[in-house]
Structure formats: C-alpha cells, structure tokens
Structure 1
Amino acid sequence: MNLGKRTSLLILPVIIISYAMIAWIIYERESGSLQALEKNRLEQRASLIGFTFNDYNNFLDTYLRSLTEGNILAAYLRNTNNVYREKMLTGHLESAISRGRQGRQTFASLSIFDSDNTLKLYIENSTDPFATIQPEQIRIATEMADQKLRKKWEHTTSDNGQSAIRQGTAIDAKTLLTPTLLQAESTYRIIVTARPDKFDELLRTTQTEYQAELRYFGIDNPLDAPPQGLSAIVKLSQNYFLLIQPSEAYLASLLSQLQIRLLAIMSASVLITFILLQLLIRRYITNPIVRLDEQLTDVIARKKDNIDFPHSEDEVGRLGRKFHDLYEKLNQAFQESFLQARIDVLTQLPNRVGFHEAAEKMLLDAEKHQKQFSIIYIDIDNFKFVNDKYGHEIGDELLKAISAKFNYLIAIALKRNDMPFVYRLSGDEFIIMLPEYDNDSASQVCNKILKLFTNGFNFERGHFAVTASLGLASYPQDGSSITQLISNADLAMYQAKNTGKNRLAHYSNELAKNDRQLKEIEFLLKEINPEAELSLNYMPVIDHADNVKGCEALLRWHSPQIGPVSPAVFIPIAEETGVFEMIDLWVIEQSFKDYPQLQSILGEQLQVSINISSAEVHSDNFIHKLKTLCHQYGITPGDFVLEITETFAMEQSSDAIQWLERLRQLGFKIAIDDFGTGYTSLMQMVDYPVDIIKFDKQLVERITQTERRHLAKALIDLCHIQSIQVVAEGIETSEQSRCLWQADCDIQQGFLIAKPMPIDTLKQWLEEHRYLERVV
C-alpha cells in the first residue's frame, strides 16, 4: 500500500470523527440556545398576554372606581325622576371605554341590582337593541348577596373560546359607600363585564402556533404538578394564573430541523476537507518524499553520488524554523493584544471587557456553589469640573490616584490578590466586585470607599472637590444575571447622586418603583396640557423697610393621573426630555398675564422673578418668543427678573454670556439663583453679566452663624462693589433676617416673610403683613 492510499485511510476517519464531534458540540450549544430562544419567545408572548389581560382588568377597575366614587352613579340612584339618568350612565360607560381603551372597540356592560337582588339597570355598548343581561351577571349578584360579599371578580371562558371578565362591588344603599358588615343587608351590587377580545385572539394565536395546551389555575384550582419542559405561566390576577404548555412535538420538530441542517453541513465539510487535504498532502508531503525516495534509489543504484539532502533538508528546516518563529511571534502579538483589549491604558485597571469576562465566571461559580457576591457601581462626582478647570492632564492623574486607592482598599478588605476586583468601565465610572459578600458586608466596604472622599479627594497633585456616588447590588436577590446586576447597581448609583452625592444607595424594589414613576412622569410631561395642569404660586420679597419689592413666580403641576408633582422632581426630567422650553414660555406668559393683577395688589413698582431653565441657553427661538410675548402683553422687561442657576453661570462659556447679554439688551434683569451651592470662585463672580445674586438657603444658614457673620458683610460688599443687588433666600428665623439686614442685604425672601401662594391669597397676606408690621 503506497503512502497516498495510507494517508487517505488515516485522515478520512479523523476528519469524519472531528466533524462529528464539532457537529455534536454545535448541536448541544445550538439546541440549548434554540430552547432558550423559544422559552424567551414564549415568555415574551406570555408577558404580552398578561399585559393585554391586565389592560382589560385595569379598565374594569378604573371604570368601577370612577363610577362608585364619582357623581354619575349617585345621580342615577337618587334622582329617580331624571329621565336622562340612564342615558348619562350609558354615555359615561362609552366615555370610559374611549378614554381607558384609547379608542379600541371593547364590549362592556353594566348592571345594577338592589338589596332584593332585583335588576334595576342593565346597559351595554353594543348595537343590539334587544340585548339582555347575561345569566352570569345575575349569578354573581346572587352570590354576593348570599355570601354578603363586598367585592367579587371572575374570569370565564365559553366553549367557543370567548372569555369575559366580570367584577362586582357592593355599595350601601343610603351612603353609596362601601358597606360595613351591619349594612350588608341594604346594598346595591354593581356588576361590570368586559370581553377581552384581544386577549382571546392572542390565546388562539399562541395555541395554534405552539400547538399548546392552556390551563387556568389558582388557589381554588391548583396544578397537579409543576409544569415540565417548555412552558410559561401568566399571572392574570392576584390568585389566578394561566399555564401555556406547548406540545413536545413543537420543540422536537425544531430540533429535528437543526439536526438535518448540521448533518448536511458536516457531510459537505467532510468531502471538501478530504479533497483539499489530499491535494495539499500530495503536493507538499508525499511528492517531496517520493522525490527523496527516488534520489535514494538512484544512490543505491549508483546512479548518483549523493542525494540532494542538504538542499532539501535546508529547505524543510528553514521552512519549519521560520514557521515556528513566525508562530511564536504571532502568538506573542496575540497575547499582547488580548491583554491590551482588557486593560485600561490610563489606570492599568481591567476595563469593561475584562469585567464582563470575570463577572461571568464569578456568576457561574456563585450559581454552582450557591454563593453570594456583590458589585459596587461608582461614579466620580464633579470630575468634569476638574477637567474643565485644571485640564485633562490633572484629570488623568486624579483618575490614576483614585484607581490606586481603590485597588489598595479592596486588597486590604478582601485579603486576596488572585484576580482583579476593581475595574474602570469608562470615563469616571468604576465597578468593584466583592466575591462571597452579601449586602451588609459589602456596605461596610462602601463606607470605607466614601471615607476616601470626605471633604474632597487629596493626593500629591493637590486637593480636589470631587466625591463619589455608589450603587450597590447583590446576587442573587438583586438580579440573576450580570446585565441585571449592573443595571440595578447603576440605578442605585443614580439614586445616590440625585439625593446629594458622596453617598451609598442600595438597589431595592422601592428604588425600581421610583424609577418607573420617574419614567411615568417623563411620559406624562410629553403629553402635558399646561393650561389645565400647570399653575403659578407667588412668593413675596421685602426690603429693609418691610416694603414689598416684588415676588417670585413658582411653578406647580397637578397631574390628573398622578396628582401633585414636586417641581424638584419634574423640572430636571423636563429639562432632560426637551419639553421645558414650552413650560418656561408658559410660565413667562402666565406671569405677564398676572402682572396687572399683581401690581394692583402689591404695588406699581413691582419686580417679578421668573426661573428659566439652563436648557434654554443658546436658544434663539426662546429669545424670539420672549420678544413676541412682551409685545403681545405690553410688558416692560425691566419689571421682570430672569433667574438662572449658579451651575449654569459656573460654565461661563462665551456663547452663554453672549446669550445672557441679549436678554439684558431686551431690558430684562438677570439674577444668579442658588448662589453658594456650586463651585464658583470670587474671580468668576466678578465677570458675571448679571444684576442680582440670590444667596442660597444653605449659604444663608452658614454665613449667619455667629463665627461666620463677618463673611456675610464681606460677600455682600463685594457684590455691591460690582453694582450687584443681593437677595437672601430661605430666611426662616428672625435672627437670620436681623443679621443680613445688618450686613446691608438688599432683599430678603423666605418662609419667615411669606410662603408661596396663589395670586388670589396675596391680598389677604399683604393685609396681615401690614398689620403685623404696625403691631411690631
């Protein structure tokens, strides 16, 4: 048997076995991925089904609550002589459907039973003029009466697959409120029904697509055993669930298709690889050996003195050595690039890629051995300020110093150096992994980190006013995947930043709930109706002689969906989402409208202060609309003060200053609000193109302390030298007021003087203020 046939017999089984193993590995991974994908698809479908069902259920809740808490039902039950009362209820039902279902057609009905279980009213939103009440509604009313139930809820499905959601509530016949046990005999029972057509359609689609079995269960009808294999459970109500169980044939069919594809690919790959290897082996291995054999045969036959071995040997040797050298160099370059891709160049900490690789390993180890671990998400506060003021070189040195401190602290805390635990994600964001640390023990490490930033951060290049905001999430209670843990720790970090910085926040369900509420506020702001939901309160200010010199317009929002919302909550969201220019312009226009009435109450020489968002900076449209409003309402701009925050003034870019100058050229006065909360230097204050500086409440509290009162006089004098008027905010005690008057403060504002109030109550306040002034 020659060498060519022998190599064929040797390499063919190896190729087949190798590709079979590869195909098996691919099949194992792909089948797992396929099952995970199908499970995710099924869970998404289940979530959609649950969301659709809850949409109908929430509609019933909302409609029933509005019916029992509003005046429509009371008017119907008490005004028996009103011939339109049934029409009013029908209109209310249709309006509720249109509003709650956003125009989607939905069958709904309303029935009212009195204490004798007699049907007083039945209405539905259908075109059937002969519609009658369904027996199920009568049954619910009967059960509520027999069992003296205050509320009842049920979901039923007919043989044709059409389901209905019914919800009943009892109200006292006299008070129309939820009855007590003593009032259970004299009640009305209100039954509302809705057909969840979209829910039924989704179920039919799911059942057809997955060849699935559907099973409703709950406390009264539990499952015989936990579901096995591919399945999903949908929570329809507190104690009512739906099990979706696809057939085994569905998943088997998908796996069979995967097997067929892999088998076809493997067969083609074996054939192509075998042919290519045969050609290559014949050209580069067997043919040189055959030539060497021929040369040896010629030597034996004395046809040649010697073989061309040195030449052949040198060729093969150089090729082998070069290949070896090349491989070593390539391998070394690969290892270096692999390491560089996972190491941050500046701090030499592992980067985001390195973190995810290490975190996945830690997660697998924790899952396998049922261990806990925690991650700390860290953001350096005010780092941009350091870069802007001192330059990026100092900023880089600061990051390296912070990284070194983190590494040292964690090494001491963990007493381990077998792997990195501190990572730089990007910019001024870091993340720390704490293996086998629960929430409490991780909190202790977080407190040590915060101590590094007490009163700023010190290292050999100086002292810098930076702090750290920390978010903590722990496995498994705060997330079952690395993505979840990072997201939740990041959410907690932003909570720490928003509540004052240089502090720790733990992830919690309450925090997640607050985040959802903020997203709801963001959505509602985009749909806000300013005329119906916004209002202005006015806060008077006085001079040294107790004369009212002006007032500040303060925005208030009362949402029909969620009620009153604090300006501290919704204003930052409005600025981030780009809707605040509309709100700013509404505030300005409303202030212009109110100005004549304010003058008639507080005096002709009145200045009104209006806060404007830093988001308006550089907006030519804002200035154009401001001019239009002044002309429209005949406003003298000098009667109004536009207030900007100190953090905006701190940026002090040439474009921003030019924008302020344009406002001043219109005639408006400019004030710096919240002065003393940022990092503005005295030299910057000298260059501010403003007319008024408003001392923040925190600054007022500090400079009115006994040992710091000399600072109050110095700061106010510095402002007066620049022809800048000083307003002190947050005056809450007579001692603060007296101290600042003595320091030549121009204007004072605070709860000691007046709280923000609607314009209608200003006159009463002014009378009381003057009375107190005369008494004193």
Structure 2
Amino acid sequence: MTTQETSRPRRGLFVAGLLLTLLTGASLRLRRRVRQRTAQLSRSEQRLAITLDSLDTYISEYRAIQACNHRLANFSPVTGLPNRGRLVAELEQAIARLCRPDRHDRHAWRARYGALLLIDLDRFKLVNDLHSHEEGDRLLQQVADGLEQALPESGFLAHMGSDEFALLIHNLDLPLEEAAHRVEKIAEKLLAVVSSIASLDDAPSTPSTSASIGVTLFGRGLIDAASVLQQVDMAIAQAKAAGGNTLRFFTEEIHLKVMTRVRMEQKLQQAIEPDELVLHYQPQVSADGRYLGVEALLRWQHPQRGMIPPADFIPLAEQTRLILPIGHWVLHSACRLLASWRGSSRGGLRVAVNVSAVQFHEPGFIEQVKALLDETGAPAERLTLEVTESLLMEDPERVRVALGELRKLGIRLALDDFGTGYSSLNYLKRLPLDELKVDRSFVMGVPDDASDTAIVATTLTLAASLGMEVVAEGVEKTSQLDWLASHGCQTFQGYHFGRPVPLEELPLAEG
C-alpha cells in the first residue's frame, strides 16, 4: 500500500473528528446560549411575577385606602354608625320619596310622614372631665349598641358626632296625631334604653346616664333637610331647658319662642353700640345707714320695650357669649368710677361688679382686669368682684388658683347668692373670699320664718368663723334690719336703703 493510500483513511478520520469537534463545540455553544436565554427568560418571568405581585399589593392597598376613606367619610370612627353626612343624604331621600307619589298606589296621596329624632346625652362632658376620653368613647359605644337594638324596622340610626345621635323614621302612613303618638312611644323607649345603661364599671362616681330627645315630624310640602334639622335642634333645646331626661316635639310655639330669642339676641348685639345698656347703682350700707359702697347693676334701656331687667337678657348674653364685651364694658365703667372718686370724699367707697362664669373662664381674664386697673388708675382694694356658687363647682382647683391671682392684685372677692347653690363648705374654707352675700330669698323670711332664720343665723356664724364679712341682700323692713344687725351682720343692701338708680341720682353722687 502506498503512502498516499494509507493517508486517505487517516485524513478522513481527521476530517470526521474535526467535524465532530466543530459540531460538538457548536452544540455546546448552542446549549450555553439556550441556557443563557432560558436564564434570561426565567429572570424576566421572575421580574414579571414580582411586578404582578407588587401590582396586586398596590391594588389591595388602594382598595383598602378607598374602603378606609369611605368609612371615614360615611361612618363614625367611635361607634361605627353612619355619620351626619349619611344621615343628611338619607333625610333628603326620605323627603323626596314623600313628595313623589307612587303611580301604582291608589292611596298615593294619603297622609304620609317622616320623623327625625335627635338624641343628646345629658352631662356627658362629666365623663370625659372626671375620667378620660377613652371611657367616654366606651359609653358612646354602649349607647349606640342599646339604641340599635331598640330600632324600629324603618329606622335609620346615625352618630352625629360627640354625644349626639339621630334616628330617622320614614313611611309613617298614618294621620298626623297617630304618627306623633307612635313616634312618642319610640322616643320613650329610647330614653328608657339610655337610662338603663349602667354607670361605668370602674367609675361609680359618674352620674347615671340619661338623654334629651328632640322630635320633629315632616310630610310633603315646602320643606328641606336643613329645615328639618333646624326644627329638631329647636326641639332638643327645649328638652335640655326642661332639665333633660325628657323629650320635646317641635311645634309652632317652640318656633315662635326660638325666633323671639333670635331677634332678642340680634337686638342685644345692636344695643352694645348705641349705649342702650346702662348701669344703675344700689347702695351698700352699715347698720347705722352709713354708705360703704355700691353694687353696679346692668340694665337694658330698650327703645321700644323700655327698661328690660337683667333676668330677661343676662342668660341670653351668657349663652351667646355677648357677655364678654358687655362684662368688659361693665368692669371698665366700674374702674373709671373708682378712679374718679379717688382723692374725694367718696374715695373710701367700694364698687361691686358681678362676674359671669363665662367671663371668668375666658383665657386672659385676670390679665384683662389688671390692664383695666392700670389703664384707669382705679384702686384695686376698692373693687369687689362677685362670683356665684355655680362657678365654684366648675373645675374647683382652677377657680381657687384664679381667685388667688385676683386677690394678689388687691381686689376684694365676694360669693354672691350664698345658700342657693351647692358649694362644699369644706372647699369654701380654702377660697380667698372676703364676703358672703346672703340671697334675698332667705332674708325675706327673717325673722318670721323659722327655716330662713336658721339658715341666715348659720351663715352669719360660718362667716364669722372664716373671717368673712356678710352682706345681706333684699333688706326691705326695719324688722329684718334689726334682727340681722343683732346677729352680727354688718353690711346691708335692699329697698330699705334705696333702689338701684343711675349714678347721678345717688345721694353720694354729689358732695
């Protein structure tokens, strides 16, 4: 065999091997590229899976946020009941249904009514003040649960905020009197439910739970949701004024009373500017008739109604907070009067001014008094501020501190209408008071009425032991004066010595 022949098979084997090597290399590269592509695809799938997962999470979170916003916008976070907004929307729908007759109902225009009940817890603020807001929320939840269980079938219960709930009843297909009677029964049941809720388990000092309910009925006619809400507000104000734990229906009489109050409020606001408010002064004297000072008493000289007594407008001024500018004006007038008397024969006289609880609790009241004394130059020791017993029961410790600050300014402090309130004698001894003013309702019975006589005698003894002066109000008879003087009373005020009159008519005004 020649060398050429021998090399051919070897060359073939070489070529075959080379091809195999090339093919194997290509296969390996192909497999590597497939693996790479597969890995890339796997990573893409992973990224896609992660993206889909994140998107699902975002959607879930978005839906949760939407649900949360819906709850916040439509439901009370404390009780879970529908809120005021939902109640108003439901009320508007109920009114629209009443005004839209059913074409398929042959009795479509028969009498149909709806009713709105506003339920307000009495003395709820005490729960928060005496305990905590958490305890207050727990009580609200208990009330909500109790009211829900007592709902009529067509009732829509809402939590209006704070301690107010509302119940909307529609489809009362009854004559007006029967509809009112049915709603009254429902309201009485709700009052009983609220009253049955026990005091907080760990707070036995909390007053028992009760509620006031205002009710208004509405039918088809020219009425809207705002008018219905206004009417029920008027009704519940009457229930509150009656002492609570009761219900009142909106009536035209209530409407007229409220409108009269609104007009009077407007007139009172206008009266501040044109000086319709005036001060009269009543003397405070010693047993021998010597003038010790005067009490400044507010009067309203109405251009049409004449002189309006304080009892007719002071409560309104306090409710509307108009007492703040009015009270400032009275204090300023008293300080100017004292400053004008300084250095004269009347320089030793005192001027007493009543201070409203609203005015006393206003931030900056003590600074306001100090500024008036500085501005006018009035002697602080000649100014007497009179506060009532009811004021002492509102945050007693804060009141004690505030009275102490006024005392540091040199101002005299008097407790007005003593005996008519509920102040604790144990607390009374800690107050920086200079005077106790015995209310005229007790002085009137002296010396003939045994009960009144005993109360006044006890007050005189108590004041003496505490180092306080007693001013007897409402002294009208010589027999009253003689008895009071013989039992240690030193200062007197009443018609026996003089009625409240303008300053220029006081005997002490001249000379």
TM-score, normalisation: structure 2 = 0.63
Counterpart secondary structure, 1:344 = coil
Correspondence 1:245-256 to 2 at 5 A? none
The answer to whether structure 1 residue 362 and structure 2 residue 108 are counterparts is no
Whole-angstrom distance in 2 between the partners of 1:538 and 1:624: 26
666 and 321 in structure 1: CA distance in 2 versus 1, 3 angstrom threshold: closer
Whole-angstrom distance in 1 between the partners of 2:120 and 2:487: 40
| Post-superposition offset of 1:641 | 2.0
1:565 alignment partner in structure 2: 308
Counterpart secondary structure, 1:555 = strand
Larger Rg: 2
Whole-angstrom distance in 2 between the partners of 1:457 and 1:728: 44
Correspondence 1:13-24 to 2 at 5 A? none
372 and 649 in structure 1: CA distance in 2 versus 1, 3 angstrom threshold: same
Correspondence 1:273-284 to 2 at 5 A? none
Cα shift readout 1:254-307 (whole Å, capped 9, x = no counterpart): xxxxxxxxxxxxxxxxxxxxxxxxxxxxxxxxxxxxxxxxxxxxxxxxxxxxxx
The answer to whether structure 1 residue 612 and structure 2 residue 355 are counterparts is yes
Whole-angstrom distance in 2 between the partners of 1:505 and 1:645: 30
Counterpart secondary structure, 1:535 = strand
Paired residue for 1:391, among 132, 144, 150? 132
The answer to whether structure 1 residue 480 and structure 2 residue 223 are counterparts is yes
458 and 473 in structure 1: CA distance in 2 versus 1, 3 angstrom threshold: same
Contact 1:541 1:747 in 2 (8 A): yes
Correspondence 1:107-126 to 2 at 5 A? none
Whole-angstrom distance in 2 between the partners of 1:706 and 1:486: 51
2:164 alignment partner in structure 1: 429
Counterpart secondary structure, 1:480 = coil
- Give, as a single letter, the amino acid of the residue that structure 1 aligns with 2:232: A
1:285 alignment partner in structure 2: none
| Post-superposition offset of 1:316 | 12
1:538 alignment partner in structure 2: 282
Cα shift readout 1:515-550 (whole Å, capped 9, x = no counterpart): 4313422431342326xx51314265777x999866
Whole-angstrom distance in 2 between the partners of 1:449 and 1:693: 44
Gaps spanning 5+ residues in structure 1: where? 1-312, 764-776
Paired residue for 1:514, among 237, 260, 265? 260
Whole-angstrom distance in 1 between the partners of 2:94 and 2:477: 56
Q: Which has the higher contact order (CA 8 A, sep 6+)?
A: 2
2:370 alignment partner in structure 1: 623
Contact 1:373 1:436 in 2 (8 A): yes
The answer to whether structure 1 residue 757 and structure 2 residue 503 are counterparts is no
Whole-angstrom distance in 1 between the partners of 2:386 and 2:187: 38
740 and 447 in structure 1: CA distance in 2 versus 1, 3 angstrom threshold: farther
| Post-superposition offset of 1:691 | 1.9
Counterpart secondary structure, 2:415 = strand
536 and 435 in structure 1: CA distance in 2 versus 1, 3 angstrom threshold: same
Paired residue for 2:467, among 708, 717, 723? 723
Counterpart secondary structure, 2:232 = helix
| Post-superposition offset of 1:355 | 1.9
The answer to whether structure 1 residue 374 and structure 2 residue 115 are counterparts is yes
Cα shift readout 1:623-659 (whole Å, capped 9, x = no counterpart): 222344354xxxx544442112344444458776555
* CA RMSD in angstroms, aligned pairs only: 5.4
705 and 403 in structure 1: CA distance in 2 versus 1, 3 angstrom threshold: farther
Correspondence 1:441-456 to 2 at 5 A? 441-443=182-184, 445-446=186-187
Return 741-750 or 723-732, whichever deviates more: 741-750
| Post-superposition offset of 1:684 | 4.0
- Give, as a single letter, the amino acid of the residue that structure 1 aligns with 2:159: R
Whole-angstrom distance in 2 between the partners of 1:638 and 1:666: 8
318 and 529 in structure 1: CA distance in 2 versus 1, 3 angstrom threshold: closer
Counterpart secondary structure, 1:368 = coil
Cα shift readout 1:63-101 (whole Å, capped 9, x = no counterpart): xxxxxxxxxxxxxxxxxxxxxxxxxxxxxxxxxxxxxxx
711 and 529 in structure 1: CA distance in 2 versus 1, 3 angstrom threshold: closer
Whole-angstrom distance in 2 between the partners of 1:459 and 1:736: 50
Whole-angstrom distance in 2 between the partners of 1:688 and 1:754: 30
717 and 496 in structure 1: CA distance in 2 versus 1, 3 angstrom threshold: farther
323 and 613 in structure 1: CA distance in 2 versus 1, 3 angstrom threshold: closer
Correspondence 1:667-706 to 2 at 5 A? 667-674=410-417, 680-694=423-437
| Post-superposition offset of 1:426 | 1.7
- Give, as a single letter, the amino acid of the residue that structure 2 aligns with 1:667: G
2:275 alignment partner in structure 1: 529
Give the paired residue count: 434
Correspondence 1:298-447 to 2 at 5 A? 334-335=66-67, 338-339=70-71, 341-368=73-100, 371-408=112-149, 410-411=150-151, 414=152, 416=153, 419-421=155-157, 423-436=158-171, 438-439=179-180, 441-443=182-184, 445-446=186-187
- Give, as a single letter, the amino acid of the residue that structure 2 aligns with 1:588: A
Contact 2:155 2:169 in 1 (8 A): no
1:555 alignment partner in structure 2: 298
| Post-superposition offset of 1:667 | 3.2
Counterpart secondary structure, 1:688 = coil
1:102 alignment partner in structure 2: none
Cα shift readout 1:281-339 (whole Å, capped 9, x = no counterpart): xxxxxxxxxxxxxxxxxxxxxxxxxxxxxxxx999999999999987886677556534
Contact 1:554 1:756 in 2 (8 A): no
What percent identity do the matched residue pairs reach? 24
Counterpart secondary structure, 1:516 = helix
Whole-angstrom distance in 2 between the partners of 1:553 and 1:610: 6
2:232 alignment partner in structure 1: 489
Contact 1:382 1:465 in 2 (8 A): no
Whole-angstrom distance in 1 between the partners of 2:189 and 2:392: 34
1:464 alignment partner in structure 2: 207
